[in-house]
Amino acid sequence: MVVLGACAAWSLITAAAHDGRPEGVLLAVLAVAAGYAAGRIGGALLPVGAPVAGALAGIALTVAVPHLAPGPQVTAPLGHAGATAAVLALSAGAACCAAWAARAAAVRLALRLLAAGIAVLAAALGSVAGCVACLAVLVCSLAAGRARHRGAALAALAALGVVVTGLTWAVAAGAVPGGFTTVVEGRLTPHRVELWRDAWLLLRENAALGTGPGRFGELSPASASLPSDGKPHSAPLQQAAEQGVAGVVLLASAFGWMLFALWRGPRPAPVALTAGAALTAVAAVAAVGNALSFTAVSVGAGLLAGMATARPLVQAPSGRTPDPRPGAAGRAPAW
């Protein structure tokens, strides 16, 4: 609550300083909080059913609402591809979490096949990033059963997110070889790289408070040159340009808080690591795309984090031996 409250408060401060529009940030904070609360409740009541329902909901949303949002859409080269990949990665993560929570081997196999089917769906929809993300989540989930140290694995996931974000920033700042930039432009289009560079320049001009939430489209030459949604298509760079260094720190704190909650949570390590892998995939997609601008992604991320940190009300038998004291045979087990 402290981290999310700070994100909301800082967006209001920077908006007041530069006449910005903080509604988008406030909506995203509310979506994450609502998703997390719903996930905690659903994960406590239905440790298997809630993640399955979440996975099926993500599939249905992707198929029924291809753009994941009503109203006019920005077509290629920007568009909604990142959001689609993020929703499918969260759906695959939810299916794998449900598989680890299930007791029957047949149910576990069916749920893992569901996760593999989500990757196939991503490929059928033309989402290469979504297919790769779903397969990565599935592989990490299968490997999570052999992990001995939950904290070390989550730290590795955090480091991966930092590396992807760092590379994005390096491209925006022109601190990488030209060949690497050419490869990035070939995959993500030169227009997106120009948006990143504009965000970097805006950060250099006002590192303390940024330009104000929602004002990137007004100040970015690249955003005005081609049809755009007024965003740099990189969550860290958007935070940097519009809310300064403090905004980036708060965004990183929100991601770190989710991983910390998974580390300290009561669920088994495979469930926590699977959810961590899915959230890291979303963070990587958001670092190079516009995923977090879609409410469905924010709600889904909070929902998965909540389900993976919930304490189920129905605990598995602990294997304790009956109380051997006289008169204890007729009493119900304390656990």
C-alpha–C-alpha distance, residues 267 and 191, integer Å: 43
Mean pLDDT of the chain: 88
Q: What is the DSSP letter of 316?
A: P
Q: What residue type is 255 in one-letter code?
A: F
What's the pLDDT tens digit per position in 196-251? 999 999 999 999 999 999 999 899 888 877 666 788 999 999 999 999 999 999 99
Please determine, for residue 70, whether its predicted confidence score (pLDDT) is greater than 80.
Answer: no
Secondary structure (DSSP) of 215-272: -HHHH-HHHHHS---SS-S-HHHHHHHHHHHHHHHHHHHHHHHHHHHHHHSSS-HHHH
Asked whether the beta carbons of 211 and 240 are under 8 A apart, the reply is no
Torsion of CA 272, 275, 276, 281, to 10 degrees: 170
What's the pLDDT tens digit per position in 96-114? 999 999 999 999 999 999 9
Residue carrying structure tokens 């998965």: 304
More confident residue, 304 or 334: 304
Residue 82 confidence (pLDDT): 84
C-alpha closest to that of 38 among 299, 255, 311, 315? 299
Please determine, for residue 318, whether its predicted confidence score (pLDDT) is greater than 70.
Answer: no
Residue 148 confidence (pLDDT): 83
Residue 224 confidence (pLDDT): 78
More confident residue, 238 or 126: 238
Tell me the domain boundaries of the chain: 2-68+76-309
Residue carrying structure tokens 């990137």: 216
| Cis amide leading into 326 (omega within 30) | no
What's the pLDDT tens digit per position in 249-299? 999 999 999 999 999 999 999 999 999 999 999 999 999 988 998 999 999
C-alpha–C-alpha distance, residues 81 and 62, integer Å: 11
Q: What is the DSSP letter of 332?
A: P
What's the pLDDT tens digit per position in 150-171? 999 999 999 999 999 999 999 9
Residue 326 confidence (pLDDT): 42
C-alpha–C-alpha distance, residues 69 and 65, integer Å: 7
C-alpha closest to that of 32 among 308, 309, 311, 304? 304
Residue 72 confidence (pLDDT): 38
Q: What residue type is 8 in one-letter code?
A: A
Torsion of CA 150, 266, 8, 31, to 10 degrees: 100
Give the HSE-up count for residue 186: Cα atoms under 13 Å, Cβ half-sphere: 6
Band of pLDDT at residue 301, cut at 50, 70 and 90: very high
Please determine, for residue 67, whether its predicted confidence score (pLDDT) is greater than 80.
Answer: no
